[in-house]
Amino acid sequence: MVVKIFKNKKGEETPQKMLFYVITSIFITILCFIIVYFVVYDLRTETMIPKNLERNLFIQRFLNSEDCFAYTDTKIQRIYPYLLDQKKLTQDTLDKCYSINDDKTILSDAEKKLEEKIKISNDGGIAFRLTFIGAGIVPNNVLKTKNWVDGKNSEQETPIRIKVIDDENEINEAKLVVEVQEGP
Amino acid sequence: MLKKGKKGEVDWIIFVAAELVIFAIIFFSFMSMVKGWTSGDVINKVYISRDTALLIDSLYSVPYNVYVMYPNKVSEITSSVSKYTLEFKEGVVSVYSDMVVDVTRASYHYTENGKMKIDKKFIHPSSLVFYKCNDAVNIEDFKTFAEISETFCSGIDAEGGILSKRFVVNPVDDYDAFDIADSVNSIFFNNVVLSRDKGDTGITDNRIQEKIDEKPTDIILNLNTDITGKKIVIKTPQETEKRVEITALVSLLNYFIKKNVKDIEIEEKIVEDISLFNANTGKITVQIEIPLDTGISNNGLIAKAIADAIRRYYGG
């Protein structure tokens, strides 16, 4: 009987049926939007990461880690956070301590294209450009992480006061300017 | 009941109304299901993937060796870690359920250094230990503190001390001793002065000289308050190393969190068994535990606490 609900005697579809379909489709669409909204809202609020946390962790890594720029007294195995070893202020050190895509040294054309896409999208990672300023530091000593994209918008963090120790164990005041690229 | 019109047709308005009622029932049932779905499984996976990834990143930012037990109780969600499989590979944490294809699999990225690539998979882990040993971060599936003690930094740490060379706080040296000592005072020990030079505060020159005469030392630790036995134990200096041995029996991370995440009340937990500590390294060592259940859902609280504390401690 239900099949005949919206049909006239000749079995033709009535305008009421069309109206019913329109209302139903609108309703279902709204329902879908509401569900998606709730899912996304819940996920966002429940799993929110504090603002700038990730970038701060990486900046700390640059300054504190033996594998990055922090000076280490090898005799007593002691690491001096925020005291940077002048010898370590190189691109090579940064690439090692902030290891992104470093297993793709030999790339095919297809992989290079993919690599380029990854670079443009940042692959969810954060890109940094570090500029060291101070006595005893090579002028314009600028280091960039592998995922840094020249020309893309970036934010500059407040310059960080650091100290740099040279080969003769002389310690100089310096500044580290950190620029960050985050997101698409 | 459907009503028929003059021509025997169903009254479509009533029909549509009935349909809408049915839709409404389905809608609210479905919403309830979705709510449960998002507040449970999916969110758990996303949370754990992000939390563990941030934890790994935070370990790299700690200057010395460190380990963190997981799950912690900063969030209740982490206690569900045993329900899932956690895979750490190529800079990505993946958290998923036992399904052929888990459509709600959650992933998040972390960034390693050049020392070691993490490649681990844990199926329904009861607990995990994230640790950094000599700048290499790794993860193990441990159940007890004793198991951790046997393997942490084994083969690398010649001293073999359970907590030796872990998170080392040894801030006194030739430069900025005052500033750092002040930071230590304010952040960790309130009234502890770590000093090296005669001009440092908290200890008289004569007393320093007496100490140095007693045994060769580079560092004098002067406790202005009586916390010996409660939080810190001072060991006999090793003459060969010429440094005072210090072992802290308190979770510094708890101090970190207490100072930096104000809405979390952290209970201090003191390790009583000092035989677990090896004093030969001459450094303060720390066990990290997150003991309280706060019920707060927010990714990266521990990571944030570590980052903030280190920045305040070392960065001024």
**pLDDT over 90 (residue B281):** no
- Regarding whether A101 and A166 lie in a shared domain, the answer is yes
Mean pLDDT value of segment B194-206? 38
- Tens digit of each residue's pLDDT (9 = 90 or more) over A142-170: 899 988 988 888 998 888 888 888 888 88
- ipTM rounded to 2 decimals: 0.73
User: Residue B96 forms beta bridges with which residues?
Assistant: B85
Burial of A76 from C-beta contacts in 10 A (0-12 / 13-18 / 19+) = middle
Give dist(CA B37, CA B301) in Å, integer: 24
CB contact under 8 A, A6 and B307: no
**Which comes out higher in pLDDT, residue A36 or B165?**
A36
Residue B122 pLDDT level (bands cut at 50, 70, 90) = very high
Give dist(CA B64, CA B169) in Å, integer: 8
Q: In sequence order, what DSSP letters do the residues of B240-252 get, joined into one string?
A: TTTEEEEEE-B-H
CA distance A43 to chain B (A): 6
Task: Give yes or no for A66 touching B (CB within 8 A).
Answer: yes
A97-111, A163-177, B64-78, B148-162 — most confident range: A163-177
Task: Please state whether beta strands B66-70 and B128-133 pair in parallel, antiparallel, or not at all (unpaired).
Answer: antiparallel
Q: Considering chain A, what percentage of its residues have pLDDT values greater than 90?
A: 11
Q: What residue type is A43 in one-letter code?
A: L
Instruction: Check the CA dihedral B308-B289-B95-B43 and report its sign.
Output: negative
Q: In chain A, which residues have their Cβ closer than 8 Å to the Cβ of B109?
A: 123-125
Give dist(CA A68, CA B236) in Å, integer: 34
Residue B169 pLDDT level (bands cut at 50, 70, 90) = very low
Average pLDDT, chain B: 55
**Which comes out higher in pLDDT, residue A173 or A179?**
A179
* Furthest-apart CA atoms within chain A: distance in Å: 103
Instruction: Check the CA dihedral B39-B43-B48-B54 and report its sign.
Output: negative
Give dist(CA A147, CA B168) in Å, integer: 32
Q: Which domain holds residue A60?
A: 53-182
User: Given A30, A46, A62, which residue is the final one in a domain?
Assistant: A46
DSSP code at position A157: P
- Regarding whether A35 and A19 lie in a shared domain, the answer is yes
CA distance A95 to chain B (A): 8
Among all residues of chain A, which has the CA nearest to that of B43?
A43
- Regarding whether A42 and A59 lie in a shared domain, the answer is no
Nearest to B132 by CA among A180, A21, A60: A60
Among all residues of chain B, which has the CA nearest to that of A16?
B12
Q: Do A169 and A74 contact (CB within 8 A), yes or no? A: no
What pLDDT, on a 0 to 100 scale, did the predictor assign at position B197?
31
Q: Do A39 and B34 contact (CB within 8 A), yes or no? A: yes
Q: Please give the radius of gyration of chain A, using alpha carbons only, rounded to the nearest integer.
A: 29
**pLDDT over 90 (residue A179):** yes
What pLDDT, on a 0 to 100 scale, did the predictor assign at position B104?
78
User: Residue B270 forms beta bridges with which residues?
Assistant: B250
Lowest pLDDT segment from A29-33, A94-98, A120-124, B163-167: B163-167
Sheet bearing B92-96, strands edge to edge: B106-109, B92-96, B85-89, B119-123
CB contact under 8 A, B54 and A161: no
What pLDDT, on a 0 to 100 scale, did the predictor assign at position B271?
35
Instruction: From residue B287, give the alpha-carbon distance in Å to each of B60, B135, B255, B281, B302.
Output: 17, 17, 12, 15, 14
**Which comes out higher in pLDDT, residue B9 or B258?**
B9
Q: In chain A, which residues have their Cβ closer than 8 Å to the Cβ of B300?
A: 49-50, 53
| Structural domain total, chain A | 2
**Which comes out higher in pLDDT, residue A36 or B110?**
B110
E-strand spans in B11-104?
66-70, 85-89, 92-96
Mean pLDDT value of segment A61-66? 84
What pLDDT, on a 0 to 100 scale, did the predictor assign at position B65?
63
Average pLDDT, chain A: 75
Task: Please state whether beta strands B243-248 and A155-156 pair in parallel, antiparallel, or not at all (unpaired).
Answer: unpaired
Among all residues of chain B, which has the CA nearest to that of A100?
B111
Number of H helices, E strands in chain B: 7, 11
- Regarding whether A155 and A70 lie in a shared domain, the answer is yes
Residue B257 pLDDT level (bands cut at 50, 70, 90) = very low
Among all residues of chain B, which has the CA nearest to that of A169?
B174
Task: Please state whether beta strands B232-238 and B243-248 pair in parallel, antiparallel, or not at all (unpaired).
Answer: antiparallel
Q: Do B118 and B139 contact (CB within 8 A), yes or no? A: yes
What pLDDT, on a 0 to 100 scale, did the predictor assign at position B95?
92
Give dist(CA B85, CA B97) in Å, integer: 6
Give dist(CA A184, CA A44) in Å, integer: 18
CA distance A22 to chain B (A): 11
Mean pLDDT value of segment A10-22? 72
- Regarding whether A153 and A67 lie in a shared domain, the answer is yes
Q: Do A143 and A104 contact (CB within 8 A), yes or no? A: no
Q: Do B249 and B277 contact (CB within 8 A), yes or no? A: yes
- Tens digit of each residue's pLDDT (9 = 90 or more) over A83-93: 889 899 999 99
